[in-house]
Structure 1
């Protein structure tokens, strides 16, 4: 019987050609890159017949594959970083990347060391053995492409309780469509703590294709607070992945705020490997025009007595499309698990669309797990109440939307300056909405 060959799309062919040309020029072990690209090439770009990508058909959305961005000149770097960061008021120690290459590195606070990823790959840094600690992500197309093409990033080693904030700033600034593949590994030793701020920025009107991966390996009793902002331009196709491998009695929190990109897919894998840990994953998405934003979450409870909380809010205007896919897995030995997941969306136009798909998979009998999803319009009665007291309708709507999103943006965030910066993003979106 003749074997059926799958036709490759133009983007898949371009990615294969790009990898063949660039693999020997990229830092590190070429064999591991080849293995990663082989995992991608076996299945190609995911499409709607792949269950976990059914609402984000990357094969259809990614018509062309952009070339890897070249290393910018000093002039380009200065121009790209001349615009103040959203979190500048928080005065973080900043590591900045321009067009996927390390461009600036402030002195790190006591308790943390930073090694550029390109250097770590070239030298075979011992901490690189901790890459891929959450093995479930390896078969994912976006993760595999990042592993094949990763050009630069940083290895952060946190050995103490870091005072102050550390920022990772990623700016794609070149005038032509370009792809970037950055990887950050954060290894947090037992009893250490870090507050990490991450921003992704690019100009409007340019179809950039950033693909970022941030991996956390967190030791026992450590504390991690992470905030991520997608402020990419209106033509960008942005893929992002976060993995978190948590030890025992860990306090871990990550939140993602999406206001940019034509198409974005944000993936989170969180694994509870040690007992008694708490993990919180939150997100707020603001869409307008034809924007498409996908959040996909997998929480694996492997140890006893762990608590996970997942909360996502979506405000969808115009013809925007929001996607939430979340799954909590409870392994047979993970008794006393407490997991709660919620996704809520407000549709601000008749053309907006929201896809919600929460799931539970439980193989233990002494657990408390729940999930929920809602989708609806603004409450007319509450709007009438506000307008009856003198607020114009646009202001009344803005007040309700800000309150709705604020729960996901600010809840559980101890850092007031960071909270103000994030709510400023929400207010700017509402102002642009008019």
Structure 2
């Protein structure tokens, strides 16, 4: 019987070589080391995701990653990082990673709110590897995702955050992930967040690069949310080199009577895959994933999500807005799964896109996988150009066309920002939209019409 051995690309061969060279140095022993070995074996069996896989058909990572960059190493902080830290404006508890490696010196570890504990992932895996091994596993809902397997195998550092039960934080926790851009490097990092029962917290991620060199980024943030907790998560992916390729993964398992909300904004993102895997582990919980993608030139943003309703009386909401110009490409693949015992599920999924010229592209692929009979679930997707009547209305009242267009686009994208509960964070998100629109022309202030 013939044995077929798939050919490995140069990048896959390099990744295998890197893992063999660094696995003994990666933090964690015992169960963690075994998990890393198993995760990499799973990755080797599948290879980098490619277009022949249904969930990756629009983002061929195997073709995009021709060569594997060397793994990032802790280095002396460049002045550009210090300058960026000085400009940080979101009020809250700041936790900083540079090239995927936690920087305790730049983080607010001496002023943590009551009920919050923080450790670097590398430190936590070294001190208590058995306790954290399960948190690094690839969950069942994402069992076939080789990019996440690679993250589990090669995660060098990150942050572990624990929120005590009944803790209510008045200000956000800010995860500032900066790329130094001094030289080409691959970053593998993970954030683990455990939210206790009845706690209330806002987590904000900002991902930026401050230097000229591109990166390969594989980052995951994992939430374990206990009963009755409220979590707001906001992710900003901005100011990346055009050649940067990154995979951003959101994992969440939520208990009963939980409210979980995530809003993501991507602009100037190079090639970006944002994938979310959320599982309802308790009844009467509500979760919402929303996002804004602002794309131009040859930028590419792929939003792929799975909402796994494994408990009854769950509510899910997904809304993603895309504004695409130049030769930008947007992707939305959403799947809502309702298990047989998950009766009384209420789900709604929408993708709305404005294409600003003929070269822009959008792919939509919403799916419902329903095994229960007492549910209310639906999905919809629209792809259109700017409404000529809206532009005419504004221009007839004296606005030049660039301002009229900017006002229409700001209103279109701004609908998502209204779901950001924290006022200061909402303002930051809208400023990013304004900054992107300003490159097309001046953005009128509120009330200018």
Deviation at 1:5, TM superposition (A): 2.3
Deviation at 1:205, TM superposition (A): 4.2
Distance 1:372 1:81 in 2: 44
- Is 1:292–2:295 an aligned residue pair? no
- Is 1:153–2:144 an aligned residue pair? no
Normalised by the length of structure 2, the TM-score is 0.93
Deviation at 1:131, TM superposition (A): 3.8
Deviation at 1:292, TM superposition (A): 0.8
User: Structure 1, residues 241-260: CA drift from partner, whole Å, max 9, x if none?
Assistant: 00110000001001110013
**Paired residue secondary structure (2:313):** coil
Normalised by the length of structure 1, the TM-score is 0.96
- Is 1:357–2:365 an aligned residue pair? yes
Deviation at 1:407, TM superposition (A): 1.1
- Is 1:227–2:234 an aligned residue pair? yes
**Paired residue secondary structure (1:81):** helix
Aligned CA distance change for structure 1 residues 80 and 95 (closer, same or farther; 3 Å):
same
- Please tell me whether the aligned partners of residues 167 and 198 of structure 1 are also in contact (alpha carbons under 8 angstroms): yes
Provide the residue aligned with 2:83 in structure 1.
82
- Please tell me whether the aligned partners of residues 120 and 128 of structure 1 are also in contact (alpha carbons under 8 angstroms): no
Provide the residue aligned with 1:206 in structure 2.
213
Deviation at 1:102, TM superposition (A): 1.2
**Paired residue secondary structure (1:268):** strand
Alignment of 1:102-251 (within 5 A): 102-103=102-103, 104-106=106-108, 107-125=111-129, 126-132=131-137, 134-159=139-164, 160-203=167-210, 205-231=212-238, 232-251=240-259
Q: Give the alignment partner of residue 49 of structure 1, picking from 40, 46, 52.
A: 52
- Is 1:395–2:403 an aligned residue pair? yes
Distance 1:242 1:236 in 2: 19
- Please tell me whether the aligned partners of residues 141 and 308 of structure 2 are also in contact (alpha carbons under 8 angstroms): no
**Paired residue secondary structure (1:89):** coil
User: Structure 1, residues 238-289: CA drift from partner, whole Å, max 9, x if none?
Assistant: 1110011000000100111001321000100111110100101001000000
- Please tell me whether the aligned partners of residues 153 and 183 of structure 1 are also in contact (alpha carbons under 8 angstroms): yes
Deviation at 1:137, TM superposition (A): 2.0
Alignment coverage as a number of residue pairs: 430
Aligned CA distance change for structure 1 residues 319 and 102 (closer, same or farther; 3 Å):
same
- Please tell me whether the aligned partners of residues 72 and 99 of structure 1 are also in contact (alpha carbons under 8 angstroms): no
**Paired residue secondary structure (1:119):** helix
Distance 1:418 1:144 in 2: 32
Alignment of 1:81-100 (within 5 A): 81-84=82-85, 88-100=88-100
**Paired residue secondary structure (2:192):** strand
Distance 1:414 1:156 in 2: 21
Distance 2:279 2:342 in 1: 12
Unaligned runs of 5+ in 1: none
- Please tell me whether the aligned partners of residues 335 and 368 of structure 2 are also in contact (alpha carbons under 8 angstroms): yes
Unaligned runs of 5+ in 2: 442-449
Deviation at 1:85, TM superposition (A): 7.3
Provide the residue aligned with 1:2 in structure 2.
2
- Please tell me whether the aligned partners of residues 178 and 209 of structure 2 are also in contact (alpha carbons under 8 angstroms): yes
Distance 1:255 1:236 in 2: 22
**Paired residue secondary structure (2:347):** strand
**Paired residue secondary structure (2:432):** helix
Provide the residue aligned with 2:446 in structure 1.
none
Distance 1:43 1:96 in 2: 33
